[in-house]
Structure 1
Amino acid sequence: MSPTAREVSWTAGGALILDGVSLRAEPGSTLGLLGPNGSGKSSLLRLLAGLRRPSAGAIDIDGQAMAAWSRRELARRIAVVEQQVSTEVDLTVAEVVALGRTPHRGGWGGSGPEDAEIIARALARTGLDGLGHRRWHGLSGGERQRAQIARALAQEPVELLLDEPTNHLDVAHQLELLALVRELPVTAVIALHDLNLAGMFCDELVVLAGGRVVAAGAPRDVLTADLVGEVYGVRCEVSAVDGIPHVRFMPPDRGDVRP
């Protein structure tokens, strides 16, 4: 089994951010989280990662309550890629990626040949081979994002949670990244804004609005013009090629333009 949320709610500062959310990612699948800004996608990812505790409901990993797992056990199996990561320490790319090996090291914290091989493989998979010597503060936004994904791959996770991983990436790298995630032997949960990328690469979709699940299922069933209009407030047409939905957005009517 994989992460399962059962009627999860989460409150912050007196505001209800998530309200009775349930989902289950099938083992080995790629599940996409969709929804406008403020819908609760990032908060749900942090709950699934064990970085926060739900105010109500429960999250299970392999049928066990998350509270039953130690921090080290969770760190060994769940890798998280946040939207933006900053550090005051000017590490090299290779040093950033090596952080993914930390949960697997023994008490002395030393690294060995196997760690070096895994780090090199993660750099190559994300197109960063040959750039391991580069300094973090000298990287572009896209290069930083790829370095963080390489760090997650070096962790060799069972579950991979990604929050807007295609931010700062050009189209070619967006496609390469999501194709890579699908090929990995992991259960992936990805928060995305791009509906067409979600329809192309995700096995299942969960759509959030106002902290609640408003739709869930296969992309071809979820991505409809009615749903996109209701959740995002935009007009579109949805077509399908080989079962993959494609959303074509339409200009707003003058009466729809916000002041």
Structure 2
Amino acid sequence: MTAARRVSAGLVVALLVGWASYAHAVGSRLWATGGVTNINGAAGGGITTWAVLNGYASDTESTVNVAVSSAQVDDFGVETVSIGFNWANRLAVTVAQNRLSVRPLDTTIRQQTIGLKLRLAGEALYDRFGQYSAGMQYTHNADFGIPALLGARDSNGIDFYLAASKVFLAAVADRNVIVNATLRATRANQLGLLGFGSARDDDYALVGEFSAGVFLDRRWLLGAEYRQKPDNLEAVAEDDWKTLYLVYAPSRLLAFTLAYVDLGRIAGFDDQDGYFLSLQSGF
């Protein structure tokens, strides 16, 4: 990371922490049950999307979340900045900017994602059968040169998904547990960072996303995620993603996430594993 980028990242963190110190209207739902902001900007884990909506808004509240994150593996790094609006715990609108650093080629790939998530029924904590949401994500790849060389067909794509989340009270050693399952229809190669579809396979694929976490107490959440991936590109293989994560939410204002990530093969580079860090602030 250059000195300028380090300074910029430091300023973003300082602004988030400073704003959170003065923010008050952050919602009233139980801590950490809104998940954190994932790499696409949606509420979930680091790599999966949950049925819950960004922030802690109840049916009579609205909240805004801002998040910054960095995922660093052997040959790649992804920095993400995102913002999400939650209206009455019914509709979430999110915008995310990803910047992929391809270190062996000394180049970057940027993409933007706009997401909509609608809570269809239920509530993750209080309803017996949990919460159900439907969503869509439109992604535009702004640097399509490398994806095109690898055989990607399009620089734009839309994902559609259905998600279910449920919090089980006192389920494991008297601790609360949150579980999530998502079914996604996608044409994305590496979430769109390598474009969408290919000459070999341009159809939508149905893939699953799964996660589970244990609340060590109301501030700490320990869990794991698994995200299936399509394998469209003939030139390079694409593997499923896995994480082990730890979330610290000292209040509804802030959440910090540290995760180990295993991303498998990316663009011909094998065994890509490393860490994920994120900071989220809500108001």
Instruction: Indicate the TM-score class for this superposition, using the shorter chain for normalisation.
Output: under 0.3
| Structure richer in strand, relative to its length | 2
After TM superposition, the score normalised by the length of structure 2 is 0.25
| Structure richer in helix, relative to its length | 1
